[in-house]
Each structure stands twice: as C-alpha cells, then as structure tokens.
A and B are shown apart, each in its own frame.
Chain A
Amino acid sequence: KAGVTQTPRYLIKTRGQQVTLSCSPISGHRSVSWYQQTPGQGLQFLFEYFSETQRNKGNFPGRFSGRQFSNSRSEMNVSTLELGDSALYLCASSLDSNEKLFFGSGTQLSVL
C-alpha cells in the first residue's frame, strides 16, 4: 500500500509570493491533516480536512488555507509568503478520527 505522497519535495520562493502544496493520502483514508515543522516551534497543527470539510484549524493566520477534494487529496496554500514561513510542511492521513496518523515526507519550503 502506498504511503502518504507529498509534492513537491522542495520549494524555493520569495517574500510576497504564494505557494500551493499537494498531498495524496493513503488509499482509503478520508482524513488529511497538515502540520508545520520548524526548528524553533517544532511540529504545529495547521488544519484537518475530512470529506472535503475543514474540521479543525490551528492557530495560524488566514494566509494559510487548504482544501480537500472528493478523492481525499488535499492542497495547502500560503499567500503573501513571509521569511518565517520557511519550514517543513507535513501532511498526514488517517482513516477517521482517533485513528493512527501517518505522515508523508513533507515539502521543504524556503522563503528568500
């Protein structure tokens, strides 16, 4: 069974630009969550989607948004990039609530 797939693996952007990251969950998993990982703050929850609906949102500004498609694939968008947005963005999928969460390898975003 294929794991969680995230694309692209690496991204370099400049301040003010926007970026879209993609995530394909494990087949059959309906919940997709996004996390930001930085050396200073560690892993922080961004949001969770289930059946195309955002079910929970972390404490991030509105520049961070996401969506989920009918095939459970998800995208995350960051607008007006800031230097502090440089991080590893991780996507995780699970069958449903209170199920085990499986992570992808992440997208490493660098904002210059």
Chain B
Amino acid sequence: QKEVEQDPGPLSVPEGAIVSLNCTYSNSAFQYFMWYRQYSRKGPELLMYTYSSGNKEDGRFTAQVDKSSKYISLFIRDSQPSDSATYLCAMSGSGSARQLTFGSGTQLTVLP
C-alpha cells in the first residue's frame, strides 16, 4: 500500500462548479502538506502549503488538513477552464531533509 493515496480521476466538471480533491495518507510523521498543479509538459506549481492541521484559504482555493483522520483536501471554487490540469498532493515530515512524498495526481478538466 502506498503512503499517500489519491484518486487519479479523471474528473470532469462544468465551469463554475466547486471541485473537491482529496488525499489520504498512512505516515503519521507527515507534518507539511502541499498541493501542486501541473500542466502538461510543465513542472509542478505550488498552490497551497500548510503546516499541521487546519484550513488555509487563498483566493478560490481552500486547503484542509485533518491529521486525526490522515486526510487532506483541496477545494476550488468557481472553477475555470484554466484550472484544467493535474493536481498533486504532497507531504513531508519535519527534520533537516527535504523529501516530499507525492500522491499519484488527479486529472481535472473544467468544461466551458
């Protein structure tokens, strides 16, 4: 079983819909939680960065972390066709080394 599980989709929604993306994990040592967006043939782009449990909002994006359930979510409000991409969750533990464990990514298409 993988340390981080993410539904690969594909997920297709109409423009303006609220999108919910989720990941579960098994390693209780994870302290830092991130969401990246990746367009085709590009590197991942950092969207949200959260330490420990709680919610964080940035514009149309909201990240939630529930460490007790080992579950993280990304919500996209008023989705746009330009949001069509692959969304990757990533997480890491504390300490001196920078090693992210990624989910497999969810492919999202927002239809105009």
Contact = CB atoms under 8 A, between A and B. Distances in A.
Determine chain A's interface SS by DSSP, over half rule: strand
B46 A90 contact: no
Nearest to B96: A97
B101 interface: yes
B29 interface: no
A45 B93 CA distance: 14
A102 B43 CA distance: 9
A99 B41 CA distance: 25
Interface string B39-52: 00111111001000
A48 B43 contact: no
Contact of B88 (A43, A44, A92): A43
A45 B46 contact: no
Given A42-B102, A43-B102, A97 B97 contact: yes
Interface string B80-112: 000000001010101111111111110000000
Contacts of A31: 98
B32 interface: yes
Interface of B is mostly: loop
Contact of B43 (A4, A50, A58, A98): A4
B56 to A, nearest CB: 13
B90 to A, nearest CB: 8
Contact of B99 (A45, A100, A103, A108): A45
A98 B36 CA distance: 16
A98 B46 contact: no
Contacts of A48: 97-99
A55 B96 CA distance: 8
Interchain residue pairs A-B with the least CB separation, the first 5: A56-B97, A103-B43, A43-B102, A105-B43, A42-B104
Interface of A: 4, 6, 31, 33, 35, 42-45, 48, 50, 55-56, 58, 90, 92, 94, 97-106, 108
